[in-house]
Amino acid sequence: MSNHIMTVEKYYAARASEYESTARYTRPENATLAAALKARYQLALEGHDVLELACGPGYWTEAVALTAHSILATDRDPFLVSMVRTRLSEATNVQCTVADAYRLEDLGGPFSAAFANFWWSHIPRKRLSSFLTQFHRILAPRALVMFMDDLPYYHRSTRHLNDDGDLLEERTLQNGETFEIIKNFPTSLEILTILSEHADDVVYKQFAADGYWTVRYRTRPTPDHPGATMEYST
């Protein structure tokens, strides 16, 4: 596994204790945005057997668990997984396990739906296709998949491209510890192009006023070429 992938994981493990005070959508002033985002996922994933990648401290797990039939929350960091277990200890439809998002073959399944929020941007560009291939293998045919991530935003610290074309961004925690992590901002065309090789019924949306994009699609049961649409909201 590349050093930059490991750094992303170390960064989020170190950030766990301050995540909900620093993540944009968890701040009190953004309560309306957070409620809308959670409601969208609860409605879409209602009744599904859901796989969550990169669950972090369980903010989205907790929301989706209210309507999903079941949810398996995964993260590579054991401390984050333990946080989710504690947070949702009374939720009978939630299981948590340590898992590498790039090696999912031991998770069982198939799952009827899956999601990962604010994680696509951390995947190295050269690994996107292979990631999607192995990810879809443990999902049911026509499974619903949802991703959400940031549109480009201003960042006061340094950014630069590495030799593989990934954007590296410096992040600083409240204790002053710094990390340089992959933080790509794929265009709508890049997202739709890569998914055209792997998925059907692709719908991409931008929410410019709130600073994020979403994509949802169905896993492909046949090699037929999918259709795709784009929607923009301000």
What's the gap between Cα 209 and its chain centre?
20
Where residue 231 falls among pLDDT bands split at 50, 70, 90?
Answer: low
Asked if 201 and 193 touch (Cβ cutoff 8 Å), the reply is no
Query: Residue 19 pLDDT > 50, yes or no?
Result: yes
Q: Is the pTM of the predicted complex or chain greater than 0.85?
A: yes
161 lies in some domain: no
Range of the structural domain that residue 141 is part of:
3-151+187-233
Give the pLDDT confidence score for residue 25 in this predicted structure. Answer: 72
Check whether 48 has a pLDDT greater than 90.
yes
pLDDT class of 226 with cuts at 50, 70, 90: very low
pLDDT at 225 over 80: no
pLDDT of 33 > 90? The answer is: no
Q: Look up the CATH number of the domain holding residue 106.
A: 3.40.50.150
φ/ψ of residue 140, rounded to 5 = -70, 155
Q: What is the pLDDT of residues 66-92, one digit of tens each?
A: 999 999 999 999 999 999 999 999 999
* 178 domain-assigned: no
pLDDT at 43 over 70: yes
Residue 134 within a domain:
yes
- Collapse the DSSP code of 78 into the 3-class scheme (helix H, G, I; strand E, B; otherwise coil) and give the result: helix
Residue 27 resides in a domain: yes
Query: Is residue 165 in a domain?
Result: no
Domain assignment present for residue 181? The answer is: no
More confident residue, 233 or 127: 127
- pLDDT tens for 154-191 read 887 789 999 999 999 999 999 999 999 999 999 999 99
* 10-29 mean pLDDT: 80
The number of domains in the chain is 1
Residue 177 within a domain: no
The per-residue b/e assignment along 20-52, b for 16 or more CB within 10 angstroms, e otherwise, is eeebebeeeeeeebbeebbeebeebbeebbbbb
